[in-house]
Amino acid sequence: MKKSIKELFGIGPDNIKVDVADERHPLVPKPNGYRHRLELLSPILGWLTDSDRDYSLWLPGPTGSGKTSLMTDIAAQMNWPILSVTASGSMTARELIGHFTVIDGNMLFQHGPLALAMKQGFMFILNEADLMPEDELAKLNDIAEGRPLLIEENGGEIIVPHERFRFVVTANTNGRGDETGHYLGARSMNLAFMHRFQVVPVGYMDSSDELEILKTKHPYLPEEVVEGMVKVAEEVRKRFQSDGDDNVGNTISTRIMDRWARLTVRYHAKAQQGVSPVRYALDLALLNGATESDKQAIHQVVDLIFGQE
């Protein structure tokens, strides 16, 4: 069936419609409340609905900017099953494509998540792809370009990509390496591999959208507290992305914001003990795992926004 972009995502035109599967597969994610932005939604939907499918999608952006949440919510609205894997510095293409294993005493070939997605018509998301060795990623060139997959070790099996198969990559960099020093292990990608992708950068949400999300999900928090949290996040993100003297090595994602708000509600009674629930919750949500210098710097931002009392 077809539904309008406005009906699915709450923004965009009513007269442009996209295909939505009639049945909801068990691997279709649940909607996560992502607040879509037309500047992101437009090129991504254009890619998803492109009949040529001779290139894949690369979503770079700072940690916690919602790259995976963006794609999983799109998939949820369009009834599109997803298989996702998080890359590592030791990951091989073989892990994604498949390998032989012993099943009930027999040596059988077991397809990996990428091969299964190609066969079944799922969206495959490779998170943190710039951590994976570039020579291993290069083995996925044909897949990224929409070509059939040849699995020589499985008797020369050929998997022709299902018409609904899509290959999505998320990363903290645009494939040219990490210039900030924040993302340990991020590699510079092979240029030939990168040319097989449409690149759509994903930044942090607008403060107004983030404010509405928090107010909706946490109605028991006073509005001035939610507004203060958003202001703290904005300032911390600005310092995280700067190279000035006030730079910090940690940031507050929308995911952390949600956790911070939830914990503030949970520990509101701390106020009766003379302890700020806002500060206590932020320590639990993020800062107890930060360096001491980052913790102090972000505490100063909280004091600046909320006051010291």
Would you give the distance in Å from CA 27 to the centre of its chain?
Answer: 17
> What average pLDDT does range 150-175 have in this prediction?
90
pTM: 0.85
Q: Can you give the three-state secondary structure of 9-25, one letter per residue?
A: HCCCCCCCEEECCCCCC
Asked whether the predicted pLDDT for residue 186 surpasses 80, the reply is: no
Average pLDDT of the segment spanning 293-304: 94
pLDDT tens-digit map of 48-90: 998 777 899 999 988 888 899 999 999 999 999 999 999 998 9
Kindly report the number of other CB atoms within 10 A of residue 293's CB atom.
11
Which pLDDT value is given to residue 236? 94
Could you tell me if 61 and 202 are in contact, meaning their C-beta atoms sit under 8 angstroms apart? yes
